[in-house]
Chain A
Amino acid sequence: MNTIIQNILVFTTMGFAVLFLLKKYFGKKPKSKKACGGDDGCGCH
């Protein structure tokens, strides 16, 4: 029983870690209207 619970916790933690990294590097970020970057259409370029 203890082994099953420990394994469930490990796989859940692993899932959260993978999701976090995927979201961090491949997730879409909301564009800030205030930003003045190269491609945000702020008209400064």
Chain B
Amino acid sequence: MSKQINVALIGNPNTGKTSVFNALTGLNQKVGNYPGITVEKKEGVCKLPRGVKAHIIDLPGTYSLNASSLDENVVIELLLNKNDKDYPDVAVVVSDVENLKRNLLIFTQIKDLEIPTILAINMSDRMKYKGISLDIDYLEEQLQTKIALISTRKNDGIDRLKELIANYRDLSVSACLDPSEIDKPYFDALRKAFPNQLIYKLWLVITQDVNFGKTDRKEIDAIASFKTKTSGDLKRLQQRETIKRYQFINNVLKKGKTIDVTQAKDLRAKLDKVLTHKVWGYLIFFFILLLIFQAIYDWSSVPMDFIDETFAALSEWVKNTLPSGAFTNLLAEGIIAGLGGIVIFIPQIAFLFLFISVLEESGYMSRVVFLMDNIMKRFGLSGKSVVPLISGTACAIPAIMATRNIESWKERLITILVTPFTTCSARLPVYLIIISLVIPEGRFLGLSYQALTLMLLYLLGFVSAVVSAYILNKILKIKSKSFFVVEMPNYKLPLFKNVALTVIEKTKSFVFGAGKIILAISIILWFLASYGPGDNFNKAEDIVTKANVSNNLSDEALQQKIASHKLKHSFIGIAGHAIEPAIRPLGYDWKIGIAIVSSFAAREVFVGTLATIYSVGNDDEDTIKNRMAKETNPVLGGPLFTLASGISLLLFYAFAMQCMSTLAIVKRETNSWKWPVYQLVIMTAIAYITALIAFQLLK
């Protein structure tokens, strides 16, 4: 029978920890719904030599075991709780060959917890460019561990790492630092009061502000023979510990690592100078954004047209092949039409994530964070707020969770409150369909108007977030300290495997996460649009035929009028007409009103809803876009989707807080209903007012 061991991947941010995780687990991984950065744990399974199976946990990046943010607590809580089902049999500390000194700090801390620890030195392929050489035997001897020199880029050393994990029982668990060196009397007293406990673990329990299950601080304070020091004294001891550890690391690296600068061929400094330049840096970032949005439009038009036509044909095939009746209609007009409204956007979403992933993998995104810090701090945000704001282009939920690494509560709260303004992928289907209907297809300087509009909407989201942050910074009277540290990883060619996994994961979570909700809502909407109360609905054929008896309508036109009459008197039609007075000033009809209400569950439901409603009210099998283009405004006449109503809708979705899940996560992260309620009310009011102004000015 094969045995499964727990392996924890730990390391500083940007050491390629996730690449090591991908190399070990491949597709055998459970990845959370959280794009961009590692906030929660990622888990996977890896087959090791001799039939051993490893359960790998990719923990959030952390610089040391002295936690300063919420996601760092996850690491410490796991390492100090032997009763945790994920408690590691072996820890793999992933370090970057160029920053070995800093990376070894956490290695020595984990080693002192007497957990078998392997040191994986990543990015070994960069050693020749940097003139670095390592004496592995010497390092292994001094650090009392086994080292795997790896390069996830070249797929080198992964087998050696697997071999070391499989043989973890051979690893030494002796400590790197004797805690008595920090303060002998204090640690002697601690040892005397808790003779059976691991002293370094107790020290962490005393100094960290986290929950350690059975061994908590109250128990320690309750021991009469031992008194903990004041927090100021403890801080000083922590500093002394860090100094002692660096003294040890410096001594080890003095002989174990040498750098021949004459061999180094460094391009990084030159690139950094340009990419983080106070003028060129912003211009280059802007230019890259332009390219991305243009490419999203140019590359995805062919697959999108194909998907749209395929769903229209499938719907027609179902109607023609299956026996006619209510369920066949539900399949053709409800389920297929609703799903078609979401599947069509897969190409564009995949391309968007492809570009975001390439920017992150290449190391450029960290430069953007650094660049943006200059702007962010003027608006009351931290440079770290850029990460949630950029992650928010995928989904606001993980982005809001990613704010956990912002140390200042005020900056964190502001970031949580403004992140929903950034354009998430759920807005993308709404934007794309409206833009394709109301923005002309021409080009300006080689860039299509439609791509430019989409980019402007993304910028509008970002600017709204920043301006709101500025206002909140002035209004909120919360005092908290702030500091900003960003890791600048080396530039590297993105790994195809990492990029591909990101694109697959994000697209999959979009389709399957949102797809189930859209499918359910499409079914309910179809039902509500296909059934209704009273004679007006049930005797629609008689009523319409009698009313048009003198008009000599063709059979097709008569059927169209009957369908339209039924839809108007269906359950959904009645509800839609009830809310119409509120949305008519924005240029919308009752069908759009229903789509807005139903998309409160999730924004992308908007397109699926319209596709379903228009399918029920129209016998022609046509693409979603064509059906929407044919809709006429019941009050003004002419097309319903004009520049005025289109821009009004785009602005409504740019500002409205149309996402139940985001509200739930804001409640969880702020531990209060106050903030999500403020968000909902204020964002909806801004959305309504801007949409109203836009329509009234442009109509």
Contact = CB atoms under 8 A, between A and B. Distances in A.
Interface of A: 2-3, 5-7, 9-10, 13-14, 16-18, 20-21, 24-25, 34-39, 42-45
A6 B211 contact: no
B668 A21 contact: no
Interface in B318-351: 323, 325-328, 330
Contact of A34 (B41, B519, B527): B41
A2 B586 CA distance: 45
Q: Which 8 pairs show the lowest CB-CB distances between chains A and B?
A: A43-B211, A38-B671, A6-B325, A17-B523, A6-B327, A17-B520, A9-B327, A37-B668
Given A2-B325, A6-B326, A6-B328, A45 B671 contact: yes
Contact of B211 (A9, A10, A20, A44): A44
B521 interface: yes
Contacts of B575: none
Contacts of B327: 5-7, 9-10, 13
Nearest to A32: B40
Contacts of A38: 668-671
B210 interface: yes
Contact of A10 (B73, B209, B326, B669): B326
Given A36-B70, A38-B670, A44-B211, A20 B520 contact: yes
A7 B386 CA distance: 52
Contacts of B307: none
Contacts of B671: 38-39, 45
Q: At the interface, is chain A mostly helix, strand, loop or mixed?
A: helix
A44 B70 contact: yes
A6 B324 CA distance: 9
A39 to B, nearest CB: 5
B432 interface: no
A29 to B, nearest CB: 10
Interface residues of B, number: 32
Given A21-B601, A25-B660, A44-B210, 11 more contacts: A3-B325, A5-B327, A6-B327, A7-B325, A9-B327, A13-B523, A14-B523, A17-B519, A18-B524, A36-B71, A42-B73
A45 to B, nearest CB: 7
Contacts of A45: 671
B670 A21 contact: no
Interface of B: 40-41, 70-71, 73-74, 77, 86, 209-211, 323, 325-328, 330, 404, 516-517, 519-521, 523-524, 527, 601, 660, 668-671
Contacts of B524: 14, 17-18, 21
Nearest to A38: B671
Contacts of B404: 36
Contacts of A24: 516-517, 520
Nearest to B401: A37
Contact of B73 (A7, A14, A36): A36
B74 A36 contact: yes
Contacts of A18: 520, 524
B77 to A, nearest CB: 8
Contacts of A36: 70-71, 73-74, 77, 404
A37 B516 CA distance: 26
A13 B77 CA distance: 45
A45 B180 CA distance: 31
Contacts of B70: 36, 44
A31 to B, nearest CB: 11
Contacts of A5: 327
A19 B489 CA distance: 48
5 contacts: A3-B325, A14-B523, A18-B524, A42-B210, A44-B73
A7 B86 CA distance: 50
A35 to B, nearest CB: 8
Contacts of A17: 519-521, 523-524
Nearest to A19: B520
Nearest to A40: B668
Nearest to A37: B668
Nearest to A24: B517
Nearest to B71: A36
Contacts of A37: 668-669
Nearest to A18: B524
A37 B601 CA distance: 22
Nearest to B667: A38
A7 B329 CA distance: 11
A2 B327 CA distance: 10
A11 to B, nearest CB: 8
A6 B327 CA distance: 5
Contacts of B521: 17, 21
Contacts of A3: 325-326
A33 B154 CA distance: 38
A25 B659 CA distance: 12
A20 B516 contact: yes
